[in-house]
Structure 1
């Protein structure tokens, strides 16, 4: 790890992190690390670590500039690799810097991704598009040419936006850990307020977040432009970047891609007893020759057990249709659910707000029935579906009085539809906060609904909590459980346990089943028929990790799918899919990280878009990849194959 000092400082400033690095290595939080602290005395210790074309001038006392960047890359790095036992490629190199050194670290990661795989950027002295008139960036010749100590064209050429553009074209993957204090120096001129370093660091983070293959974290902490900010966050940054470094090159997942030229989304996946697979897609255009009504239509696709496509059926209006779940009953009838803001069933003329819909098809693709329901003028969405031998159950949320008085904002609902698609019953529950039903499952003759609440449906643990409710098949409420931590906790997936009860997955931002790895972690738990969590697990990285779906095979092994922007394996893109297998004794057997260079299994807003189903050959998953939808398969031992 190369450590760049700030303007006016020397390499000795970094010696204060030595003991903290020793602690991190000793605890196993980072691997054994060589810290390189180069001294940069050129340009009156204001070189900004770039190659200067300034030759000096008799009118100033500023010494001529030097090719600092070239010396660093061509002389120093090769010398270190030749002298010490390093990993002599980008996968083994990180760079960190504060203030001027932060600007240097940012430039080196972006402009030279072939050399550095990650960077810790502390209060970077960067300015967009140009530094303010009184900035020291203009004074010492780093961005000069000839006798002029500062040339705007030179600064623009060497500044981070130009380097960011070149990084985007490199095809390489890197990580940035950005830090700034909330008490940074405030420029006295209102016109220069956008050059305050807290603002400038936000701009860097905002733009970096839009670049493929560049994963970024931003920390805003209490403090100013000093080591009270840099010391603690440097240690956090070291743990963050080292989870990516030293990993073997990742191989993109084996997957079949479905999509249109527009922005498509996954909408569910399920399998029948013969191994046929059904996939739902929210298609932003015509798919497989099916009629396209506009907006996004729901496409339901059947694949044979050998992976070949048997048929595709579409549902659409001129508005928006999204699918959020697919299920298949024992007789091979397939059900898809989601929402529409049009007149999908022909009985809701003039509708422009979200209504839930449920449609059933036979094994040959003939639609048996379609049901649309909701409260006029407000949003109602169905997010999940489960079936038993005689009925269909869906769960979601309503902003109205779908089955009782709305308690405020969104309320959860669960509904039963009989074999002919008619609504048998609907149940609604809510708090004064936001409540959503995200997953439904049928187990042992009971109906379970999982989700989240922003209020108190039971006893609040603080923040947003997960919820789990149980109903009889007749719609009688048996119990409602609310659980979580003082932070945010949500249930996103449910699956029936052959032994009774249900498995659930989602995420926590706290210590739900153990110490948090940072930000959000995947949660997996089992609840018995009384709603008692008999077992729970939590895993993740320092980044954003969430469980989205869970399925259980006939032998009792559970498979949990989700996404991460960290390194649970070898990262490929900003968001990757994650699949973990739990053996029947609830030991985590393996974890796989999979994806492409695009966002996979989640959208740009970190909303999960991943579904999974258990097949005789293992598991199949469907999710978002870029603007299309993937379908991939994992064997029971974790090998990734084409579906």
Structure 2
């Protein structure tokens, strides 16, 4: 092969890389005034991100024992979804086992305030985002599934849509698990608190058709029964929602397969709301 042809192929190769490049993935440092500390988050912006345009935002929460890098490390296809749906996807840190509560027991753990208020304000200042609930959704897996619904139910002026993947949506059956008693005290000594801090007991906050909801859980998941109960309670209270179930356990294989359906759901919501 002569040098002229070789140079042409190299040029073509780099042009193809540039043409097919995916979203921008950045790890950013945010600051929580309520906790007086720096918290990391992954922010995925579409490849054609333009500051003259306002983008919808999906906040995607990790599960217990995870961190801000879990989603992009284990589901890197999020980059292509950010491009496909022209949205910003944010993966904040939930400090291993915060359950995204403002803990009444641990003064330094205020992750409801952080995700529901401080992170939203940071994104609005640093990125070109839709500045209303019509352009914001929140979703998570496991502990993050609980957190997403808990925050959305309690902050309906902030989020217009919410989803859960294998969420621990009723904490009552699990009083000894996942450090919850560290943040709430024991269930035996604080039964009312354990009800107050469970998604299942937040449904009375909902107004039909105000918050768009999608809930997914595999039939082999240990959270399957509590998700079915949440679905039934939402239906009983005439709260419209999408409930998806099928084979699958508490695994990344299930979450990787399920997350694109939820992102499409949010994309359609953003399109209809704006």
TM-score normalised by length of structure 1: 0.32
Matches within 5 A, 1:397-408: none
Residue 245 to residue 17, structure 1, CA distance change in 2 (3 Å): farther
Aligned-residue Cα RMSD (Å) equals: 2.5
Matches within 5 A, 1:127-146: 127=170, 130-136=172-178, 138-141=180-183, 143-144=184-185
Q: Which residue of 2 aligns with 1:165?
A: 204
Q: Which residue of 1 aligns with 2:54?
A: none
Residue 248 to residue 134, structure 1, CA distance change in 2 (3 Å): closer
SS in 2 for 1:237: helix
Larger Rg: 1
Q: Which of 29, 33, 40 pairs up with 2:87?
A: 33
Q: Which residue of 1 aligns with 2:165?
A: 122
Instruction: List alignment gaps of at least 5 residues for structure 1.
Output: 56-63, 186-196, 250-643
Q: What is the CA distance between 1:241 and its match in structure 2?
A: 2.1
Q: Which residue of 1 aligns with 2:241?
A: 216
Matches within 5 A, 1:282-361: none
Q: Which residue of 2 aligns with 1:206?
A: 232
Q: Which of 198, 214, 217 pairs up with 1:177?
A: 214
SS in 2 for 1:215: coil
The CA deviation string for residues 6-36 of structure 1, in whole angstroms up to 9 with x for no partner, is 1111111110476433433544xx2x11111
Q: Which residue of 2 aligns with 1:601?
A: none
Q: Which residue of 1 aligns with 2:191?
A: 152
Are residue 110 (structure 1) and residue 153 (structure 2) matched? yes
Q: What is the CA distance between 1:211 and its match in structure 2?
A: 3.9
Are residue 8 (structure 1) and residue 8 (structure 2) matched? no
Q: Quick one: distance in 2 between partners of 1:248 and 1:225?
A: 32
**Cα contact 1:139–1:149 (8 A) shared by 2:** no
Q: Quick one: distance in 1 between partners of 2:82 and 2:113?
A: 31
SS in 1 for 2:88: coil
Residue 223 to residue 248, structure 1, CA distance change in 2 (3 Å): closer
SS in 2 for 1:184: coil
Q: Quick one: distance in 1 between partners of 2:115 and 2:188?
A: 22
Give the ranges of 4+ consecutive aligned residues of structure 1 lying more than 6 Å apart after TM superposition.
Answer: none
Q: What is the CA distance between 1:200 and its match in structure 2?
A: 0.6
The CA deviation string for residues 105-156 of structure 1, in whole angstroms up to 9 with x for no partner, is 111121211111111200011226x233433354322x239xx997221121
Q: What is the CA distance between 1:244 and its match in structure 2?
A: 1.2
Q: Quick one: distance in 2 between partners of 1:46 and 1:160?
A: 16
More helix by share: 2
Q: Which residue of 2 aligns with 1:241?
A: 266
SS in 2 for 1:218: strand
Instruction: List alignment gaps of at least 5 residues for structure 2.
Output: 1-57
Q: Which of 127, 135, 139 pairs up with 1:84?
A: 127
Q: Quick one: distance in 2 between partners of 1:239 and 1:221?
A: 18
Q: Which of 91, 104, 108 pairs up with 1:53?
A: 104
Q: Which residue of 2 aligns with 1:361?
A: none
Q: Which residue of 2 aligns with 1:428?
A: none
Q: Which residue of 2 aligns with 1:469?
A: none
**Cα contact 1:121–1:178 (8 A) shared by 2:** yes
Q: Quick one: distance in 1 between partners of 2:271 and 2:129?
A: 11
**Structure showing greater relative contact order (alpha-carbon pairs closer than 8 Å, 6 or more residues apart):** 2
Q: Quick one: distance in 2 between partners of 1:74 and 1:149?
A: 31
**Cα contact 2:146–2:169 (8 A) shared by 1:** yes
Q: What is the CA distance between 1:158 and its match in structure 2?
A: 2.0
**Cα contact 1:91–1:247 (8 A) shared by 2:** no
The CA deviation string for residues 334-362 of structure 1, in whole angstroms up to 9 with x for no partner, is xxxxxxxxxxxxxxxxxxxxxxxxxxxxx
